[in-house]
């Protein structure tokens, strides 16, 4: 028994030493972005290597990312110094868990983004880090089927449907591709593209007659959509293997296609509907949890990430665009050139109808997305009656808005108090 005791105390001592000895003095950067191995490696080698003091960059899926963060917050002490995540991840958190960053002296050059980053408080809770958007991309093989008179840079939804139909009729295969897989970002298409383009709103107009038209149009487009779309999550894969010729997705989920075969694909703006060309930005931010072990180093890293050189390096590494004013160099990767041009054309188009990211939903962001995903699954996959589904889902949407009290965001008209579902 004595030797057992000795052994136990030796083990305990070893464990104690291991837990207190600093494994490294690096700043721990805990991120949901730049997850693919190549991107993570590029972040480490090209973006973060210039930071004095060293950074331990750890990208993770949203689930594990949040689980560890919450564990550290609940324990009241942690090892994460800097958080990198999407606006939606931060808006689901309690602002008290994040260090106020208003006095840091860095922010994005967009007041809209800075406003979102306050998370409903008086001061910046995270610093906007990088931005992206959703665009369309097509294989050059598809271009010959463009309907007559259609300008690829100013398509309407009707022309997009006609185009997809032409391809379907001529080749015998449905070649429109839509990221409807489990990890696909389909909800953003409905919230930021389809609804604004047809109803000039998202929440107020959720169950309007215009919304019924929008879903009818989408159902029409779905006739010419590759039915395997329910397994597609990163449309660059289907562009590259030819399963889809015309696709919609996040710029960074199309990048690989442009970088591998830049001459085979084109990027172009999202189509327009009766109420304009709806589109939505994607915003990622940097924050410091209240439990950060070294807040000074963390702040230095956040400031470093906002420097113009770092922002350009980040663009090369992740295909996310800078949030501060920078002069873009000429030697950018093909994907950045292609998607940058498409986003610029989209926002500069005369009928542009930019939407904002859902704001003020707190931890109900997932439930909000589910309303749209469920509508899609019931209307398009389940073939249920559009009016009935919308009236049914409307109740859930209204409940979410009332519970969170979130006011309307563009393109919905402003509201006093919670955004009403009309």
Partner 1 sequence: MNARLLPYVLILPVTLFLCLFFLYPFVLVAAQAFGGADGLSLDNFRDVVSYWKFPISLKNTMLLAALVVPVQLALALLMATMVNRMKKGRDLVLYIWTIPLGISDLAAGIIWLAIFEQSGFLNSMMTGLGLADGPVNFLSYQNPGMVFLAIALAEIWRATAIMLVILVAGIGLIPKEYYEAAEVFGASPWQRFLRVTLPMLRPSLQTALILRVVLAFEVFAVVAALGGTVMPVLMGEIYAYQFDLQNGGAAAAMALIVLGISIVFTVIILRVLRVPKGATI
Task: Find the radius of gyration of the CA atoms of the chain.
Answer: 23
What's the closest the beta carbon of residue 378 comes to partner 1, in angstroms?
A: 8
The terminus-to-terminus CA distance of the chain in angstroms comes to: 75
| Closer residue to partner 1 (CB): 32 or 200 | 32
In the region spanning residues 183 to 242, those forming contacts with partner 1, defined by CB under 8 A, are: 226-228, 230-231, 241-242
Q: Where are the beta strands (DSSP E) in 213-372?
A: 246-250, 265-268, 277-279, 281-287, 352-354
For partner 1, the binding residue among 182, 329, 350, 414 (CB under 8 A) is 182
Count residues contacting partner 1 (CB under 8 A)?
Answer: 27
Q: Residue 194 CA to chain centroid, in angstroms? A: 17
Q: Is 402 in the site for partner 1 (CB under 8 A)?
A: no
Gap between the Cα atoms of 142 and 39, Å rounded? 30
The least CB distance from residue 364 to partner 1, in Å, is 8
Task: Let me know if 414 is exposed, middle or buried by CB neighbors in 10 A (0-12, 13-18, 19+).
Answer: exposed
- CB nearer to partner 1: give 163 or 222: 222
| Percent of the chain that is helix, strand, coil (3-state, to 5) | 50, 15, 35
- CB nearer to partner 1: pick between 4 and 23: 4
| Nearer residue to partner 1 within complex by CB, 32 or 275 | 32
Q: Which of residues 89-128 bind partner 1 (CB under 8 A)?
A: 92
Contact between 282 and partner 1 by CB under 8 A: the answer reads no
**Which residue in 173, 296, 309, 391 binds partner 1 (CB under 8 A)?**
173
DSSP string computed for 41-75:
HHIIIIIGGGSTT-EEEEE--HHHHHHHHHHHHHH
> Per CB under 8 A, does 350 bind partner 1?
no
Q: Please state the closest distance from residue 416 (CB atom) to partner 1, in A.
A: 26
Residue 323 tokens read as 């949030």
Q: Residue 31 Cβ, how far from partner 1 at the closest point, in Å? A: 16
Per-residue x/- marks for partner 1, 46-75, CB under 8 A? ---------------xxx--x---------
366 binding partner 1? (CB under 8 A): yes
Spatial distance between the Cα atoms of 309 and 299, rounded to a whole number of angstroms? 18
Taking CA atoms, 411 is separated from 202, 213, 248, 276, 403, in Å, by 7, 18, 21, 11, 21
Helix 157-171 to helix 209-223 angle (10° resolution) is 20
172 binds partner 1 (CB under 8 A): yes
Minimal distance, residue 35 CB to partner 1, in Å: 15
Of residues 10 and 381, the one with the C-beta less far from partner 1: 381
Least separation in angstroms between CB 3 and partner 1: 14
CB nearer partner 1, residue 182 or residue 329: 182
Cα separation, 257 vs 269, whole angstroms: 17
How many whole angstroms separate alpha carbon 332 and alpha carbon 50?
19
Q: Which residues are at the interface with partner 1 (CB under 8 A)?
A: 61-63, 66, 92, 172-173, 180-182, 226-228, 230-231, 241-243, 363, 366-367, 369-370, 374, 377-378, 381
């Amino acid at each position: 028994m004595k030797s057992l005791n000795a052994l136990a105390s030796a083990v305990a001592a070893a464990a104690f030493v291991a837990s207190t000895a600093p494994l490294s003095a690096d700043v721990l950067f805990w991120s949901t972005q730049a997850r693919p191995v190549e991107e993570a490696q590029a972040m480490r080698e090209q973006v973060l290597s210039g930071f004095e003091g060293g950074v331990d960059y750890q990208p993770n899926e949203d689930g594990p990312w949040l689980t560890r963060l919450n564990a550290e917050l609940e324990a009241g002490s942690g090892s994460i110094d800097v958080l990198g995540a999407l606006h939606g991840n931060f808006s689901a958190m309690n602002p008290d868990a994040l260090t106020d960053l208003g006095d840091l002296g860095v922010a994005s050059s967009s007041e809209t983004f800075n406003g979102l980053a306050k998370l409903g408080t008086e001061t910046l809770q995270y610093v906007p880090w990088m931005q992206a958007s959703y665009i369309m991309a097509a294989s050059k093989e598809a271009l010959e089927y463009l309907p007559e008179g259609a300008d690829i840079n100013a398509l309407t939804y009707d022309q997009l449907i006609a185009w997809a139909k032409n391809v379907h009729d001529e080749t015998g295969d449905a070649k429109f591709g839509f990221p409807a897989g489990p990890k696909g970002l389909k909800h953003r298409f409905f919230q930021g593209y389809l609804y604004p383009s047809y109803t000039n709103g998202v929440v107020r107009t959720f169950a309007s007659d215009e919304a019924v038209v929008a879903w009818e149009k989408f159902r029409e487009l779905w006739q010419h959509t590759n039915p395997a779309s329910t397994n597609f999550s990163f449309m660059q894969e289907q562009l590259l293997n030819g399963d889809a010729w015309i696709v919609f997705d996040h710029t960074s989920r199309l990048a690989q296609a442009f970088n591998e075969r830049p001459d085979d694909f084109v990027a172009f703006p999202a189509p327009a509907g009766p109420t304009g060309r709806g589109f939505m930005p994607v915003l990622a931010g940097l924050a410091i949890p209240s439990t950060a072990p070294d807040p000074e180093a963390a702040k230095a890293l956040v400031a470093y990430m906002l420097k113009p050189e770092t922002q350009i390096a980040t663009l090369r590494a992740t295909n996310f665009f800078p949030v501060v004013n920078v002069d873009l160099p000429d030697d950018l990767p093909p994907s950045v050139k292609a998607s940058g041009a498409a986003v610029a054309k989209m926002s500069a188009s005369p009928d542009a109808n930019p939407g904002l990211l859902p704001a003020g939903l707190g931890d109900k962001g997932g439930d909000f997305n589910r309303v749209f995903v469920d509508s899609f699954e019931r209307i398009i996959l389940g073939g249920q009656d559009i009016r009935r589904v919308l009236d049914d889902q409307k109740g859930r949407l209204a409940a979410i808005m009332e519970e969170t009290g979130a006011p309307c965001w563009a393109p919905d008209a402003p509201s006093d108090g919670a955004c009403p579902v009309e």
